[in-house]
């Protein structure tokens, strides 16, 4: 069964029921291929694949894809995060900064370079809380899409 973004525009209750049905079908031996731009939905799948412009960028379980990405992540919380996010974007070793609610996820592929950037940022900043985090599937997706050639290259 091939489903192309089947839950776009669906309320949370119906979305959950939909995914329960997909898992029932899979348990009955039906192969279900789902395309989605929702990473929390991708995490519900037994296996995922990222494809861009016809090229397979990553494949495996959500855990395997995140682990193979090589991303390191720090989580920053506190007030007035936007100026900090803009400053972090400019630091060597920081590949991406993404707001997640009242936090920032700061990620990089080179752990040493990222840790050095974070150490310098922490030293200059006494207003925020910093903790090591885990990269999310969305972090990996953004990294892979940023690295992928586009249709215009």
- Are the C-beta atoms of residues 86 and 98 closer than 8 Å to each other? no
Task: State pTM to two decimals.
Answer: 0.80
Return the CATH fold of 72-134.
Alpha-Beta Plaits (3.30.70)
Share of the chain above pLDDT 90, in %: 71
Higher pLDDT, 32 or 151: 32
If you average pLDDT over residues 37-43, what whole number do you get? 91
- Residue 150: its pLDDT value, please? 67
Instruction: Locate the domains of the chain by residue range.
Output: 2-65, 72-134
Q: Over the stretch 93-122, which tens digit does the pLDDT of each residue have?
A: 999 999 988 899 999 999 999 999 999 888
Report the candidate in 77, 89, 83, 80 with the shortest Cα–Cα distance to residue 117. 89
Q: Do domains 2-65 and 72-134 have the same CATH topology?
A: no
- 8 Å CB contact between 13 and 108: no
| pLDDT exceeds cutoff 60 at 42 | yes
CB of 66 closer than 8 Å to CB of 135? yes
Q: Where are the beta strands (DSSP E) in the chain?
A: 2-4, 33-35, 48-52, 55-60, 72-77, 96-100, 103-108, 129-133
How many residues in the chain? 153
Structure token digits, residue 33: 């291929």
Six-digit token string for 116: 């050095």
Determine which helix (DSSP H) or strand (DSSP E) holds 102, and give its type and residue range: none
With contact defined as beta carbons under 8 Å apart, do 57 and 148 qualify? yes
Domain 2-65 has CATH 1.10.3720.10: no
**Mean pLDDT value across the chain:** 90
Q: Residues 78-85: what's their mean pLDDT?
A: 90
């Amino acid at each position: 069964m091939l489903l192309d973004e089947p839950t776009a525009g669906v309320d949370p209750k119906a979305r959950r029921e939909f995914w329960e049905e997909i898992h029932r079908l899979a348990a009955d031996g039906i192969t279900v291929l789902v395309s989605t731009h929702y990473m929390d939905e991708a995490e519900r799948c037994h296996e995922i694949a990222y494809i861009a412009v016809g090229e397979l960028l990553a494949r495996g379980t959500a855990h395997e894809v995140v682990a193979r990405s090589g991303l390191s992540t720090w989580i920053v919380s506190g007030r007035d995060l936007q100026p900090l996010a803009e400053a972090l974007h400019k630091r060597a070793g920081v590949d991406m900064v993404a707001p997640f609610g009242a936090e920032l996820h700061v990620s990089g592929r080179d752990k040493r370079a990222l840790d050095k950037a974070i150490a310098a940022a922490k030293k200059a900043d006494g207003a925020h809380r910093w903790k090591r985090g885990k990269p999310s599937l969305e972090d990996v997706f953004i990294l892979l899409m940023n690295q992928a050639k586009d249709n215009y290259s």
